[in-house]
Amino acid sequence: MSKFIVTGGKKLEGTIKLSGNKNAALKLIPAALLADSPTTLTNVPDISDVSVMLDLVTKLGVKVTREDHAVTIDPSGLSSFDLDPDLSSQFRASVVLAAPLLVRFGRAVVTPPGGDQIGERLLDTHFAMMQKMGVEINRKDGRYFLEWKKKKNVDIFLDEPSVTATEMGIMISSAIPGVMKIEDAATE
């Protein structure tokens, strides 16, 4: 067994700069589309997945301003609910955009997401959660067509504690009249 031996007696001091969190940024960008005014996110990592997410929302009509590690997202021009298939297929988190599009338009058109192939990463839990919330899902020509008929007071038990499905459920619940309860939600 390996071990670390730490010899104390010296005071730690100084400053470190922490990098931004990719997974947080990839959920906060879609969440910003729920706002009625611009949202500024700071300490956003300058990585390809974040850049592609920003390109995706720009294609939807959203104004994005990026300066250093800050991103301002102005959703006032949001005019489309159809995600660009080429951009969507580049990374896993693209599916999260379905949530704010359902809230804003009552519909969304999404392509199965791409990204890291870490075992089998299906969308079954995400779709089951959305269906329990009143979303009709149809697949045609390799794309998913989602239409939301809002339900009141929704109780959901997730098939598995999926982080992304939980985050999407929270975003969609922002527009549900009444109470929404998610059981077996991910707690990360």
Give residue 69's pLDDT. Answer: 92
- Structural domain boundaries of the chain? 22-151
Q: How far, in Å, CA of 88 to CA of 186, rounded?
A: 24
Q: Is the pLDDT of residue 12 over 50?
A: yes
Query: Residue 120's pLDDT band (boundaries 50, 70, 90)?
Result: very low
Q: How far, in Å, CA of 168 to CA of 44, rounded?
A: 20
Encode pLDDT of 37-89 as tens digits.
999 999 999 999 999 999 999 999 999 999 999 999 999 999 999 999 999 99
Q: How far, in Å, CA of 188 to CA of 184, rounded?
A: 12
Cα 130 to the center of its chain, rounded Å: 14
Identify whether 116 is a catalytic site residue.
yes
Encode pLDDT of 155-178 as tens digits.
989 988 999 999 999 999 999 888
Give residue 115's pLDDT. Answer: 57
- Architecture of domain 22-151 in this structure: Alpha-beta prism (3.65)
- Which position among 116, 141, 155, 159 bears the catalytic label? 116
Mean pLDDT of 173-187: 89
Q: Is the pLDDT of residue 144 over 80?
A: yes
Other beta carbons less than 10 A from residue 135's beta carbon: 22
Closest CA to 58 of 36, 41, 34, 74: 74
| Lookup result for tokens 């045609």 | 140
Considering the chain, what is the average pLDDT of its residues? Answer: 91
Q: Is the pLDDT of residue 119 over 50?
A: no
Query: Residue 112's pLDDT band (boundaries 50, 70, 90)?
Result: confident
Percent of the chain with pLDDT over 70: 96
What DSSP character marks residue 40?
E
Torsion of CA 13, 67, 89, 174, to 10 degrees: 80
Give residue 73's pLDDT. Answer: 99
